[in-house]
Chains A and B, each alone.
Chain A
Amino acid sequence: MRTITVRQAIQEALREEMRRDENVFLMGEDIAYYGSAYGVTKGFVDEFGEKRVKDTPISETAIIGAATGAALGGLRPIPEIMSINFALQALDQVVNHSAKLSYMFGGQMKVPMVMRTPAGWSQLSATHSQTLELLFAYIPGLKVVMPSTPYDHKGLLKSAIRDDDPVIFIEHALIYGAKGEVPEEEYLVPIGKSVVRRPGKDVTVVAYSRMAMLAMEAANDLAAEGIDVEVIDLRTLRPLDMEPVIESVKKTNRVVIAEEGWKTYGIGAEVQSRIYEEAFDYIDAPVRRVAGVEVPAPYNKHLEMAAYPHKANIVAAIREVLK
């Protein structure tokens, strides 16, 4: 099978869905002639024109509010927020409008919008490096997706665009260049389904996005020592599909949860408590969490590397639960 990058997978999903449905359009800061901050929408304005690839003012409130309104008006907008950190400027629209209109008005409205936004870090310091997916995952009414592989990026983005509810689609900038197998023919990946990325019998690692990729590397390293790691990629953070996790825990009895976000109140905290609620009798060792250090992101590269979790941290946590 051919191999493409995460960035290419996203581009293919957008292009295919825009060709398929003329109501699908892109809007955001610098997405047309600049080609977006991470180059994802490069060339799109040439194929689809300014009507469907709209450069907007730096107005995050208006971008997400207008996308929500355009969705009410029968379109399928894909607003891009240049960085998840800037989404804080749009949080009121997302939380109070995009997520609420269906419920608040008794089911007479729907908001088929996909907010795409890159997350991640690389010496961008405190205000440009935050791991904020939790803020969205907390909100009923949203669907929140944060994939790892190119295959999932493409299939989940296509599902998100066809979904009638607001979807927050979060891309980790550090894996835009990661490669993986993606078929030529069309496919969809369903929202709300966690996946067993690698079967194993000794220990379960639950992760998503970049950490799921690192978990796979850690599992491959440990396989050489005869440690058989099962990796589960959550892929969707809301609704959270715990079924494969619980099934896995019942088999391995040992769990590591890996995320980049701050540990306190984090995604890992939720997964951990659900494991204790639903599979307490199957746990042979305390569930361990690998997470970011609770500090605003520093600029200095050594400090920054120390602030985020890496493959070595996952490996260490696996050894710990296997003791």
Chain B
Amino acid sequence: MVDKQLALEWYRKMALIRRFEEKCAEGYAYAKIGGFLHLYIGQEAVAVGAIGALNDDDDIVTHYRDHGHAIARGLDTNALMAELYGKATGCSKGRGGSMHFADASKHFWGGYALVGAHLPLAVGLAMASQYKGENRLAMAIFGDGSTNNGGFHESLNMAAVFKLPVIFLIENNLYSMGVALHRDSSISDLYKRAASYGIHGEAFDGMDVQAAYEATKRAVEHVRAGNGPVLLEAKTYRFRGHSMADPEMYRSKEEVEFWKQKDPITTWKARCVEAGIATAAEFDEMEAAANREAEESVKFADESPEPELSTLCDYIYANPIGQTEYQPV
């Protein structure tokens, strides 16, 4: 079993992701948050376990369901909620929104919104690490739907050819938006696709934070030893719809209920209390801290200023040439 401090910290982070996203859903209902909102609820163990197994300077690129990964990496929840509110204080200064959280100073290179298209970025980050002789690895996190996209194939092949330090982590939540895995993939154990590239592949229980941590630790050791990339598959499930606009006509309530019995947060607490790692009261303290942080982030976001219109055209270029200031149409 894990030590007490780690057990509580994992719990705090999973609870923080859950509470933060419940606040997101509220903010969306109040139209404080616009655009698409894809909640991670149900999948928290994957982000917390897998990212917890990395070093702080390992590079991460992820997909549009990115709130959990950002929180697991330790991005400031105030800046994240402010980003959802489109505020100037947001992590991407209100330019990105829900799908584009990032903090370059934390080697969190962003959430990307085109399925499978961000995997090559992780290949490139790993290429830079290898080129400079550094020990950093890159993790690309993506959904099961990405494995049917050309970017997946090109990235795994190129990473394998160059023996690059990349962990490709599939969050298999069984649905590509509304299409069930068996309807769009030729196999259901997606980690087996590793065999096509001559690399190591492994699946783990994505509802179990410890399983996520341990499988990723093994992958990290394999990759850092110079053995090339690893393909990991988390078997997980999202409890909410694909996005807030999803009426969920494609799956049964029974199926959702079945997976909710595996809730990664409540099951982790129950297991740890039963094993005597920490008391229920100690977990409740973590829960309360998560609640406070989530509430604080909403207050911060609400009170933050909107970006000035005069800044509309800022950041298009790192090195702007010619007239790039905002001119009203």
Contacts and interface: CB of A to CB of B under 8 A. Distances in A.
A280 interface: no
Interface in B272-301: none
B116 to A, nearest CB: 9
B322 interface: yes
Contacts of A51: 131
B103 A97 contact: no
B109 A109 contact: yes
A313 interface: no
A56 B129 contact: no
B15 interface: no
Question: Which size bracket describes the interface of B in this complex?
Answer: 35 or more
B59 A104 contact: no
A57 B157 contact: yes
Interface in B78-115: 90-96, 100, 102-105, 109-110, 112, 114
A165 B317 contact: yes
Given A70-B131, A105-B95, A96 B110 contact: no
A222 interface: no
B104 A192 contact: no
B102 A96 contact: no
A103 B95 CA distance: 7
A238 to B, nearest CB: 9
A66 interface: yes
Given A69-B124, A105-B110, A241 B322 contact: yes
B321 A69 contact: no
State the main secondary structure of chain B at its contact with A: mixed
A101 interface: yes
Interface string B28-50: 00000000000000000000000
Contact of B92 (A106, A164, A165): A106
A86 B317 CA distance: 26
A102 B322 contact: no
B216 interface: no
A106 B120 contact: no
A40 interface: no
Nearest to B96: A104
B321 A74 contact: no
A73 interface: yes
Interface in B292-329: 314-319, 321-324
Given A102-B318, A105-B92, A105-B110, A61 B125 contact: no
Interface residues of A, number: 49
Given A57-B161, A109-B104, A66 B316 contact: no
B150 interface: yes
A178 interface: no
B123 A65 contact: yes
Interface string B53-73: 000000101000000000000
A217 interface: no
B314 A107 contact: yes
A60 to B, nearest CB: 8
A210 B131 CA distance: 37
B17 interface: no
Given A61-B117, A69-B121, A107-B318, 19 more contacts: A59-B158, A62-B123, A65-B121, A66-B158, A68-B124, A69-B124, A69-B128, A70-B131, A72-B128, A73-B128, A92-B114, A102-B318, A103-B315, A104-B110, A106-B90, A108-B104, A109-B104, A239-B323, A239-B324
The 10 closest A-B pairs by CB, nearest first: A69-B124, A65-B120, A73-B128, A106-B93, A107-B315, A62-B154, A66-B124, A69-B121, A59-B154, A192-B321
Interface of B: 59, 61, 90-96, 100, 102-105, 109-110, 112, 114, 117-129, 131-132, 138, 150-151, 154-155, 157-158, 161-162, 314-319, 321-324
30 contacts: A25-B131, A51-B131, A61-B120, A64-B120, A65-B120, A65-B123, A66-B123, A66-B124, A68-B121, A69-B122, A69-B123, A69-B127, A69-B138, A72-B104, A73-B59, A73-B129, A73-B132, A75-B127, A92-B117, A93-B117, A101-B110, A103-B315, A104-B100, A107-B318, A109-B110, A140-B316, A164-B318, A192-B322, A239-B323, A241-B322
